Structure 1
Amino acid sequence: MERDRNLMRDILLTLALILAIDAVVVGVFALLAYPWLTFVHAPIAAVVGTTAAPVARWLVVFLPVLALFVWAQLRFTRQELLADVPAGDATRDTHPDLHARFVRLCKQADMQPPDLAVVDRDVPNSFAVGGVTNATVVVSEGLRDALSDDELDAVLAHELAHVKNRDATVMTLASFLPALVSDDRKILNVDGGANLLVWFVLTFVLYLLASPSLPGALFSVSSVVGFVTLVAISVLGGGIILGVLTAPVVLLSRRLSESREFVADRAGAVLVGDPSALVTALEKLSDRGFELPDTDARTHYTGVDGLCFLPYGLDDTDASTDEDTFTVETRSHPPTHERVANLRALVDEL
């Protein structure tokens, strides 16, 4: 019991540090955006006074940027992850046995049933993803075929523990900065003429906003040079700061991810009342019959792989990783033998 409290304390502390770094990032970007809002200084000074105007002007930038930052993180929680997997809804009509099992476990956990989906893949695995108000548990057909009833209950209970603990939302908050650096979600995708047009219009609008603080007349050489310099300082400064602050987030996120797997294992085992069922499921799925990729799946995976019950994902092919692609991975699964050892200790404890 004391160990569980220490683990939850470590998780909350890690999350608090990540959110603090997020706040610093937002504050720095608000500071970088400060020169673009010269035109609001006079109206703000008229309302709050000259002394308080600089701080108020910074807040005018900080609060919208903070709202945008939170929205962007939550935007890529559920729908972007589910887009990686062609899963179909599992309802009472399409999958009566699985649906009934799922609803029963939700009642035992005293929670509203999240959405349930099934992906037509032979690889036995599952994952949970969710936002602020909704969540989805996805299981593969291979998982249903590979496990006994008790083992399937235990794995579903593990995923429900992730949902109940808001793990999907937490891990999205933790992984957004690294995803922004590596752009593995194509957040900054500029492919196609339409997006290029958007960037052109945005550049023009930024130039107009910055014009009061630029030297020379509008569209003069000195004004354009000043604008390019301001953009370069903002982009390079923001990139450097983002990279520096992403490093501790990566370490903290990986630690958080590992801790939350242990918590979900324990909560799922307690929910079904049989930790040994989850032990046998882990052992059976870890030694699943087809060849593992050469790369250590615990330290290198993309998309939903890091959210899965076991981190080999849902692909039945060993897709080679593009060596030219830069990614920053924040999720990490603890070794299966450590998860099994913790569950065996729970068996002795119960």
Structure 2
Amino acid sequence: MRNIGLKARMAVVGSILFAFYTLGISFFYAVFGVPIPILVGLSVVFVVFQYKLSKWFTLRSLKGQELPEDKYPEIHRFVEQTSRDMGIDKPTLYLVEMGVPNAFALGRRGNGTVAVSRELIQLLERDELEGVVAHELAHLQNRDSIVMQLGQGVASVIGFAAYFAVILSGDNDLVDIFIGMIVSNIAQMLVMVFVFAISRHREYVADRDAATAIGRGDPLARALEKISAGAQRSQPTDAAKEVNALCIFGGGASLLSTHPPTEKRIERLRSY
């Protein structure tokens, strides 16, 4: 994370998430008397399991297949060279079925995966596709997937704590269970507001890093225009809708958006 603005935002959001995490752990310790080291260990195991399962499930649900190097040698060469320039290991490349042009990255710098939809390859020119792939490599370089997973893990801990707080304070009947689920979802969403805020900034950073990697921002700007238009003409699969937060293109402009407005991203890219 070379970007000073990103470091500052991560420090603030990280402190807030740590406070939420401490609150959740403290609740379980106070109510159930489980030793803190065990609670921390269980939460770590939960996050790791969630991370591994989500990666496997995401690729499987999108019918992911490794991108054949003999059929797409230019993409493989570009990824190998750009990964070397960024100081990360070459990720595994996947071709996925999404119904819309899109791409996403999973994993970490030493064991990453970049997935591109068949529709994306068909839609974009070579330099535009390279801009998109560079954006996903930047996400791996900046550990964005891990940060999102940690945020979701903290949200889950808070959700569990909120649920049990409602159950233990009531009669433990069906009404309490129903209210507990609602409160749990609200608590998780409160935590995710902060995670989404940092996610939106990370998209800008990945755009800038991609522009640096390919030498200019215009190819990625053109790619975003085409992806946005393609998304309006096409219907994503149900599985694709579930991974929208991971993708290079995600609609919306609110506190619950994982991506900043596409128009603003394009404007910034054309200034690089």
Q: Which residue of the other structure, out of 93, 107, 111, is the alignment partner of 1:130?
A: 107
Contact 1:11–1:260, Cα closer than 8 Å, also in 2: no
Q: Distance in 1 between matches of 2:54 and 2:61?
A: 12
Contact 2:24–2:158, Cα closer than 8 Å, also in 1: no
Moved more, 63-72 or 265-274: 63-72
Q: Residue 310 in 1 paired to residue 254 in 2?
A: no
2:61 match = 84
TM-score by length of 1: 0.62
Offset of 1:94 from its aligned partner? 4.6
Change in Cα spacing, 1:71 to 1:241, as seen in structure 2 (3 Å) is: farther
2:222 match = 280
Q: Residue 98 in 1 paired to residue 97 in 2?
A: no
Change in Cα spacing, 1:246 to 1:287, as seen in structure 2 (3 Å) is: same
Structure with bigger helix share is: 2
Offset of 1:306 from its aligned partner? 1.4
Q: Distance in 2 between matches of 1:290 and 1:276?
A: 21
Q: Distance in 1 between matches of 2:18 and 2:256?
A: 15
1:21 match = 20
Residue 197 of structure 2 aligns to which amino acid in structure 1?
R
SS of 1:288 mapped into structure 2: helix
Q: Distance in 1 between matches of 2:171 and 2:241?
A: 32
Contact 1:26–1:65, Cα closer than 8 Å, also in 2: no
Offset of 1:108 from its aligned partner? 2.4
2:84 match = 107
Q: Residue 291 in 1 paired to residue 233 in 2?
A: yes
Q: Which residue of the other structure, out of 260, 264, 269, is the alignment partner of 1:343?
A: 269
Deviations 1:240-290 (A, max 9, x none): 885564243121012111111111111111111111111111122212275
Q: Distance in 2 between matches of 1:258 and 1:330?
A: 10
Q: Distance in 2 between matches of 1:229 and 1:268?
A: 51
Q: CA RMSD in A?
A: 3.5
Offset of 1:174 from its aligned partner? 1.4
Instruction: Give 5+ residue unaligned stretches, structure 2.
Output: 161-167
Q: Which residue of the other structure, out of 176, 192, 210, is the alignment partner of 1:250?
A: 192
Instruction: Give 5+ residue unaligned stretches, structure 1.
Output: 35-56, 184-227, 294-300, 313-328
Offset of 1:182 from its aligned partner? 8.9
Query: Which structure would you say has the larger Rg?
Result: 1
Offset of 1:85 from its aligned partner? 1.2
Q: Distance in 2 between matches of 1:307 and 1:264?
A: 13
Residue 115 of structure 1 aligns to which amino acid in structure 2?
T
Contact 2:128–2:219, Cα closer than 8 Å, also in 1: yes
2:30 match = 31
Matches of residues 317-332 of structure 1 in structure 2 within 5 Å? 332=258
Deviations 1:115-145 (A, max 9, x none): 1111245521111111585221000122112
The percentage of counterpart residues that share the same residue type is: 28
Change in Cα spacing, 1:29 to 1:100, as seen in structure 2 (3 Å) is: same
